[in-house]
Structure 1
Amino acid sequence: MKFICEKNALVEGISIAQKAVTGKSTMPILGGILINAKNDTLIITGSDIDLSIETKVKAAVLEEGSLVVDARLFGDIIRKLPNSDVEVASISENSIEIKCEKSKFNVIHMDAEDYPSLPSVEGNKQLNIAQKCLKNMIKGTIFAVAQDETRPILTGVLMESKDKTLNLVSLDGYRLALKKESIEFDDEVNAVIPGKTLNEVVKILGEDDDVTLTFNENHVLFTINETRIISRLLEGEFIKYNSIIPEEHKSTVIVDKNILLNSIERASLVGKEGNTNLVKFDIEDDTIVITSNSQLGNVREEVNINLQGDGIQIAFNSKYLIDILKIMDEEKIYMEFTSAVSPCVIKNIEKDNCTYLVLPVRVSTR
């Protein structure tokens, strides 16, 4: 194999494929990236079996071939080279030479035939959606994915489409995030995509063009321009999330999102004792009084609101509220309350495209 490639283009291709290389596999070859040079194109692939990423880079291929190189070492070398053309060539059965201006490296490589083949994802369920739209939907739900592996299904995001609406749903037992968008897609899809996969997908998605999602029984394929991301789907039944979202409430608060966010962030500074990050809300008339007390001190914040319904006293883990408020994009929001031990529901006022739910923290009244 021998090719010449512009350094920055090669760095970008390596960086994309490398996102699938975890270094945790029991198969040493999966610590590498597969480079296939053919028809003036490099196909660069990284995989950990569950997640595989393949991307194409233009290059002058002088001699076709394929091999596997250590992902971290090869990536670090190419990034440190001068901003010029890079020449990579096989010089023996198990080594390559990397040249760029006055730099020259000899690096051991592995046999491409030992690299696992990527799953074939052929399905008639193909969904096209704007990259920017999917990116916003993922960012609006990924933070509520469970980190605890005891319920594996909750470490993923439910993607479901029906009646020309695409829903993304995540929940971790303390909060729920739902984003929805209208789409031109008639098929029904019900798939749980690992949060780890979507964390990498969102880094690759751009602002322009569409992304194509192809589903089969066990895998999903994201096609983003010259990049293909293949992920296994999580097995099992996702929680029936609609039954968790309250249909009725006793109080509605309309509030400026940024003022509320800033007040909660300030209040949480003295509430970081332990893991609860506790903040208390006293909602009455046209004000939320936010307080937090710990051995570090105490704080009191006031936020003007429009209250419809009864006043309420309720407490939350401030982190869960902050995560939600940071990703909401409207200036004014609804907060719906029923009781001090019932979930709070948070929604946009203008565009009905998201629903967030946060469980309160039970606080002793003694």
Structure 2
Amino acid sequence: MNTQLTVKELLDPLQTVIGVVEKKQTLPILSHVLIQLKNNQLTLTTTDMEIEIRASQAVKTQEEISFTVYAKDLIDIIRKLPETTIVEFIIEAAKIYIKANKNSFELNTFNHQDFPSLPKIENSEVIKINRKQLREIIENTSFSMGNQDIRAYLNGLYFEVNQNSITIVATDGHRLSIGEVKQDNNLTDKKTVILPRKAVLELSKILNKNEHNEVEIHLSDNYFYLASNDITLISRLIDGNFPNYSQVLPTDFENTILIDRLEFLNSLQQASIFVEERTKGVKLVFKNSQLNIFTHSERGQAKTQISTKNFSKEIEIAFNIHYLISILEKLTTDEINMVVPGGENQSCMLSSPNDETYQYVVMPMRI
């Protein structure tokens, strides 16, 4: 059995699905990509048994054939070839021979019928959302996800879907990001899921790459399914109870300070040159409508100063400087509101004035 495909036909869907493939797999077949040709359609599938991605591409060939090949080797072979190059696959029981121009390669293969797939999703709630909106809300919240935290529910992105909104939340226990899209959803009850970190990263790639205006999301008790044009992503969900994020939002807004965002960001970036590597702490001192920013390390120290509005109290507080910088880089307005702790209120919140699309919470630290 043999077939021919061009590099252009192969490369784009292969780049879409390759991120799921890990170098070390419990099952050798999981390092392979399943290639299927049927009805003038090329479909590539990869899985690690937690996430499955399928990408399809229209092709000219009339053949119907299925086979597997080692994914990393295949992409290394074709990614440096011209798009018009014809790649020939000669498929035998345990080997696949690949020919491109004057080059030939011999790779191991498996029976395509042994390629695993995630279970079919049933009893799911279906919502539709603008692709760009979903991409932006994920980009502006996912940076706060935990990474290899012992509390598994922190290592992912929390989706809360109501009849009139989609809220996405991420936290690592020290900072929290909330994004909300107002839209009508055809739901009878609220639906909540936690999408694992790896699936979030792959989802972001798909949303960045795909040009389709609208995507469809299926939410079940155990799986997340996204359909976007010729690409689908299926992921198992994290089993756990996400923290009640509303409990850490400030309730006392007396200490609300208006700050020029770019001036604040530039001052923090300059001060970060001398931040102590272990604590990454920055001290903020609000006094006489001024914000003084202090950092120090064994190499030296920095002090920068900017003006604030609507605030004359004296407050001294410290934060992880990188948390503040990452938030200010996500916000886009000229000025930001900063609610600093006062009394029993221990959390600091940053947001854009008169815009509740994004809210960012950072816990203070001792330095």
Q: TM-score, normalised by structure 2?
A: 0.94
In the alignment, the residues of structure 1 paired with residue 318 and residue 55 of structure 2 have an alpha-carbon distance, to the nearest angstrom, of 47
Q: Aligned partners of 1:61, 1:95: CA distance in 2, in Å?
A: 22
- SS, match of residue 280 in structure 1: strand
Residue 304 of structure 1 and its aligned partner are, at CA, apart by: 1.7
Q: Could you tell me which residue of structure 1 aligns to residue 218 of structure 2?
A: 214
The answer as to whether partners of 2:256 and 2:311 remain within 8 angstroms in 1 is yes
CA distance in 1, matches of 2:245, 2:255: 22
Aligned counterparts of 1:189 and 1:301: Cα–Cα separation in 2: 46
Distance 1:15 1:140 in 2: 24
SS at match of 1:19: helix
1:143 and 2:143 matched:
yes
CA distance 1:81–1:207, change in 2 (3 Å): closer
Partner SS for 1:61: coil
The 1:331–1:9 alpha-carbon spacing in structure 2 relative to 1, beyond 3 Å, is farther
Instruction: Check whether the contact 1:89–1:97 (CA below 8 A) recurs between aligned residues.
Output: yes
Q: Which residue of 1 aligns with 2:186?
A: 186
Q: Note the alpha carbon deviations across 1:99-136, whole angstroms, 9 max, x for none.
A: 33333333322211111123212344111111110011
**2:20 partner SS:** coil
Are 2:203 and 1:201 aligned?
Answer: yes
Structure 1: give runs of 5+ residues left out of the alignment.
none
Q: CA RMSD in A?
A: 1.8
Aligned to 1:280: 283
Three-state SS of the structure 1 residue aligned to 2:227 is strand
Once residues 309 and 214 of structure 1 are traced to their aligned partners in structure 2, the CA distance between those partners, rounded to angstroms, is: 50
Cα displacement (A) at 1:184: 1.7
Q: Does 1:241 align with 2:259?
A: no
Distance 1:247 1:195 in 2: 30
Secondary structure of 1:87's partner? strand
5+ residue gaps, structure 2, are none
Local SS of the residue matching 2:310? strand
Q: Which residue of 2 aligns with 1:304?
A: 307
Structure 1 Cα separation of the partners of residues 63 and 36 of structure 2: 11
2:229 is equivalent to residue 225 of structure 1: yes
2:355 aligns with one of 342, 348, 351: 351
Say whether the 8 Å CA contact 1:81–1:103 is kept in structure 2: no
Structure 2 matches for 1:1-366, cutoff 5 A? 1-187=1-187, 188-205=190-207, 206=210, 208-271=212-275, 273-308=276-311, 310-339=313-342, 342-363=346-367
Give the superposition deviation at 1:309: 5.8
- The residue type equivalent to 2:250 in the other structure is P
State whether residues 154 and 170 of structure 2, in contact with CA within 8 Å, keep that contact through their aligned partners in structure 1: yes
| Partner Cα separation in structure 1 for residue 366 and residue 149 of structure 2 | 25
What's the offset of the Cα at 1:29?
A: 0.5
Q: What number of residue pairs does the alignment pair up?
A: 362
Partner Cα separation in structure 1 for residue 123 and residue 151 of structure 2: 28
Mapped to 1, the partners of 2:366 and 2:34 lie a distance apart of: 52
8 Å CA contact 1:82, 1:100 repeated in 2: no
Q: Distance in 2 between matches of 1:91 and 1:197?
A: 32
Q: Is the 8 A contact 2:4 2:88 kept in 1?
A: yes
Distance in 2 of aligned mates of 1:306 and 1:114:
65
Contact 1:123 1:214 in 2 (8 A): no
| Higher mean displacement: 96-105 or 206-215 | 96-105
Secondary structure in 1 aligned to 2:16?
Answer: helix
Q: Distance in 2 between matches of 1:207 and 1:284?
A: 49
Mapped partners of 2:93, 2:16: distance in 1: 27
Between stretches 55-64 and 45-54, larger displacement belongs to 55-64
Q: What are the Cα deviations for residues 39-60 of structure 1, in whole angstroms up to 9, with x where unaligned?
A: 1111100110111101102223
Q: Shift of residue 208 of structure 1?
A: 4.5
Q: Supply the AA of the counterpart residue of 1:346.
A: L
Alpha-carbon contact 1:31-1:70 (below 8 Å) kept: yes
SS in 1 for 2:355: coil
Cα distance, 1:176 vs structure 2: 0.7
Quote how far apart the aligned CAs of 1:186 are. Answer: 3.4
Name whichever of 187-196 and 204-213 sits farther off. Answer: 204-213
Q: Percent identity?
A: 29
Partner Cα distance (1:92, 1:65) in 2: 12
Contact 2:7–2:87 (CA under 8 A) maintained in structure 1? no
**After superposition, what is the alpha-carbon deviation per residue over 1:45-92, rounded to whole angstroms, capped at 9, x for unaligned?**
011011110110222335322111111001110112233142333342
Contact 1:165 1:182 in 2 (8 A): yes
* Residues in 1 aligned to 2:87 and 2:334: alpha-carbon distance in whole angstroms: 52
